[in-house]
Amino acid sequence: MSHRLLFVAVLFVPSMLAAQGPPPPAARDSAAAQARRDTLETVVIRATRAGASSPTSRTVLDRATIERRYAGQDAPLALLGATGITAATDAGAFSGYSSLRLRGVDQTRLAISVDGVPLNDPEDQVLYFSNVPDFMNSMQSVQVQRGVGASAFGTAAFAGSLNFESVSLATTPRFAEAQLTSGSWGTRRVSLEGASGLARGFAAYGRLSGQETDGYRAHSGNDARSGFMSAGWFGASDAVKLTAFAGRSKMQLAYYAPSEADLAVDPRSNPMSPEERDDFHQSMVNVQYTRAVGRQASWTTTAYRNAAGGNYDVFVGPDLWNFNLDHEWHGLISAFTWRGPALEIATGAHVSDYHRDHFLKIRPDLATKVYDNTGFKQEQSAFAKATLTRGALDWSADLQLRRAAFRYRPTPGQDIGTPRVDWMFVNPRVALSWRARPTLTTYVSLGQSGREPARADLFAGADDVDSLVAPEVLPLDQVRPESLTDLEAGLRIRRTHASFTVNAFSMWFRDEIAPIGQLSITGSQLRRNVPRSSRVGVELEGTWKVLPSLDLDANAMWMRARIAEYRDDASGITYRDVPPLLSPALLANLSARWRVLSTIEAVFSSRHVGRSFLANDGNAALTTPAFTIVDAGANVEIARHVFRIQVQNVFDATAYASGYTDGSTRYFFPLASRSLLATAVFTF
């Protein structure tokens, strides 16, 4: 986007939106009818999310919290500050190939969904947030659920889940809004957003966004566009809702990290060439029908289609290789919920079919395919869960059954057949919650979960399996599925001006598919099974309204993570009782909000991340240093419009969000030095 677009938006968007006129008179529907419509819209969300009293370790970011922090950054970066989360982007700031880890576990083992619809790519088990820029701008809330947690559709919540809820149609009043952001490293964003409000049973919401950044690191920029829309009809007992979003990003690649020596010379170093870049798009559409069955039950069915494709250029020797990907994914989910005075039941089922083409060309000859293979993935799953209330006790049980199957069609001419593999998982969970006092709740839960390898795990990072690679990776059952037994126990204290939560967890893995600290040629983490590993720790969360105008929020996680036995294939050495890589023992966050005046708010946050290992050998010399980052900002409201200033890394600390090693050298992904973002939100 150019500065001209920003100029045009500033001049004409407010007048265009204002021409819509003032909001219509308040809806005539009763409060009960409005609540009913809201319930119909959120059936799937309530069926899959952990509820307010659920015996689960979780953090919820509501719309107000999202808006207070958000300036268009990728979703993983917007979630920084939540308990147990670390996040990184290869560009160093704002956007790029961003990723997050929860309790030190990478996001391929997190169940990611929006409105209950799964988003994890079936082959890679991850959502590339760079494909859907400005995604958080259209979210009503995000629930970060830690541990096995409640069952949902799609891949199991192995180490946790990210449950996104889009802007509510039934409860969002009519509005129109323009957001403009400008800041360090050539960052610019324009977003136009609006909702119709609920009128005669109909409601709609839409957003269009454009953003670009040069990236903190050299030639790591991103030029992106996205859109999000939803529309629905809400009757007394029925609701139909359509949701769709699409995005496209053109990025300069930076997924290889500079060495420590290179960073000492240039902290913005990028070893990749400016010619190494990508162009990817992604879209999703789903249609949901919900039917209320009496006053206690509801049933909903959702059909969805997810598609993505694009290409990226990487130098391999003197040649510029052009890797191409193209996938299509269809699915159907259905959920039924019933709520009685003392019993609540939710069931659901999911079927999906997916295929993705992988092919390679070498520039400048884009007419010839060096290889052309396809991966196919099918899934069928079902879950049932119930909560029984007896006095002050809530007894919960949860069971998910899931089958996944992968089939590989190799490049024509390869004599390796059509390899295939399938997996069956039984994932149970039981829990007990006790309301000891009106202000005190304690809970304990025990769950098991299993997850299949990703395609990159099966192929040891290769993008194509030919007769040379086949002896190393076939048959496809050489990489075993991983399983987890998760015990969680905690207590919550809620008082008028303060709240406090403590949660202890013990996660015991079998055959964990653990990263080994190296990257494939395409940038994916190389991983392999380790027979036994564990993560044991404590999470603390607290809020305190110190004064009517001053709020404090704090959280911390201490964790002892260990791999019982790890053999380094390169050296042949076996290491025992060593920390897994990129799993810091200590994370802590502190934030404060001070309402200086009714229209002025000052914000402050601090994040501490302990050191983490870059290899699974326990070598203290191959670690990322611990760091503490301080951010600050202010929000000023003038006649319904908001002006926000954010200063990130106020004290210009040197910090590395992630990295890897070749066994002797440390390679780091740096965090940006002091950065400034200014956002104006015009509401009409």
Q: Specify the CATH architecture of the domain 3-683.
A: Beta Barrel (2.40)
Q: How far is CA 435 from the centre of its chain?
A: 32
User: pLDDT value at position 20?
Assistant: 39
Residue with tokens 């030639």: 219
User: pLDDT value at position 72?
Assistant: 93
Non-local (6+) Cβ contacts of 107 within 8 A are 76, 99, 100, 101, 126, 127, 162
Which CA distances in Å does 662 have to 268, 292, 517, 568, 609?
Answer: 21, 58, 8, 12, 23
d(C-alpha 228, C-alpha 209), whole Å? 9
Locate all alpha helices (DSSP H) within 19-153, ordered by sequence: 31-41, 43-48, 63-69, 75-78
Domain extents in the chain: 3-683
C-alpha count within 13 angstroms, C-beta hemisphere, residue 32: 3
Six-digit token pair at 582? Answer: 């990129």
| DSSP class of 617 | T
Query: SS3 of 12, please?
Result: helix
pTM score: 0.91
User: pLDDT value at position 190?
Assistant: 98
Phi, psi of 437 (to 5 degrees): -145, 165
User: pLDDT value at position 53?
Assistant: 64
Handedness of CA 148, 151, 156, 157 (dihedral sign): negative
Phi, psi of 624 (to 5 degrees): -90, 135
What are the residue ranges in the chain where pLDDT is below 70?
Answer: 1-40, 43-44, 46-53
